[in-house]
Structure 1
Amino acid sequence: MRNNNFLYEGQYYHQIRGGAMGSPLTLTIANCYMFFFERDIVKQIINGGGSYLRYIDDMFIIINWSERHLNKQIDQWNLFDLNIQLKAQAGSSIDFLDLSVENVNGHLLTKVYHKPSHEPYYLPFNSVHPMHMKKNIPFAMLLRAIRYCSTFKAFLNEREDLRMALLLNKYPCVFIDKHFNRVLQKFNINQPLTSNNYIVRYAKRLFMRQKEKN
């Protein structure tokens, strides 16, 4: 976008290039532009037997290229538009948004990613906020864990870290267990999870989400 004019607190501003941060229109325009920007990249990745995903300005690529070749391709992609410069984070393990992905002998293992600055603080249970907000915290956080964690061990670690964080924020044990169980009920899990049945159920959840998208 060029020559963007807007009014803020009675003052007119002239933005030479780009759009206002946080504006829904800016995000829509950016996504439309990226659709055209990335077409050749997507075609190249797909033809190379890889997979390509993007969320706004974060790209996720799975492909059997050497890191040297990947960096060479990125240098070429950066010539598409000098205003959009891509930077790579490559390796057998990578963090994408709030997901951590690791390639172990050709198998992709996933779990929840927490930034180094992550602190175990949530909305305190003794706050004056509506109860439905407090109910949604353990539910939503465990829902993310059961969707993201591809191994039973990763799920257990995330669940116990979440439980400790909620206890730290004064959530009662009974309250935590009740809303953790809501997550299990959502996936029709009516028996204790084990390392054996977790993998089967994880595969089913992936299949269900794929059907929802289609």
Structure 2
Amino acid sequence: MEWFETLAIEEAHKKPRAWLRYVDDTFIIWNHRNAELDTFLKHINNVSPSITFIMEKGVNNKLPFLDVLVKRTDTKWETSVYRKSTHTGQYLNQKSNHHQSTKRRIIKTLLDLAFELCNTKKGLEKELGFIKNDLQRNGYSRLMVEQALARRQQ
């Protein structure tokens, strides 16, 4: 893919400001007109017959990329945790027959994701609210979640 990306971008008439890839997902920042973006997509799809890109454009200045929702404001980029519309909030129930360390790891993982992906205080607080509500619906005590949060904040 590195060879492909280098070739495709070097040969493009208009280039993206940023090109970020993780495995087969690519996030680009485009500083040109939308029509030129469509031309760029056609160009990269003509570089190699075995590689085809599809494109999802941002809506209302928001674009999901992997587990991150990227939002462009007038002055900065905001990031938060992205959940698909099919997300149910269902996790391993606290009463399930699994070791306690597995259940603590679920809480820790969700908290780590929130702290790593949310780059604003408001976004982090909103995400922590989702986590607390989801975990309580899955039988986790408020105390267990608050203790994990206190450890994470230290």
Provide, for residues 186-214 of structure 1, a one-character-per-residue CA deviation record: whole Å limited to 9, x for no partner. xxxxxxxxxxxxxxxxxxxxxxxxxxxxx
Which residue does the alignment assign to 1:100? 69
Q: Does residue 78 of the first structure (1) align with residue 18 of the second (2)?
A: no
Structure 1 stretches lacking a partner, 5+ long: 1-33, 186-214
Runs (4 or more) in structure 1 with deviation over 6 Å come to: none
Q: 1:44 to 1:175 in 2, by over 3 A?
A: farther
Which residue does the alignment assign to 2:122? 153
Provide, for residues 22-78 of structure 1, a one-character-per-residue CA deviation record: whole Å limited to 9, x for no partner. xxxxxxxxxxxx121111245578x95711111111101113122211110110110
CA distance in 2, matches of 1:70, 1:169: 44
Paired residue secondary structure (1:38): helix
How many residue pairs are counted as aligned between the two chains?
151
Give the deviation of 1:106 after TM superposition: 4.2
Q: CA RMSD in A?
A: 1.8
Structure 2 stretches lacking a partner, 5+ long: none
8 Å contact from structure 2 (residues 8, 43) kept in 1: no
Q: Specify which of 113, 116, 124 is matched with residue 85 of structure 2.
A: 116
8 Å contact from structure 1 (residues 112, 148) kept in 2: yes
Identity %: 28
Which residue does the alignment assign to 1:87? 54
Provide, for residues 59-101 of structure 1, a one-character-per-residue CA deviation record: whole Å limited to 9, x for no partner. 0111312221111011011011122111111233211011000
CA distance in 2, matches of 1:36, 1:56: 14
Q: Which has the higher contact order (CA 8 A, sep 6+)?
A: 2
Which residue does the alignment assign to 2:139? 170
Q: TM-score, normalised by structure 1?
A: 0.66
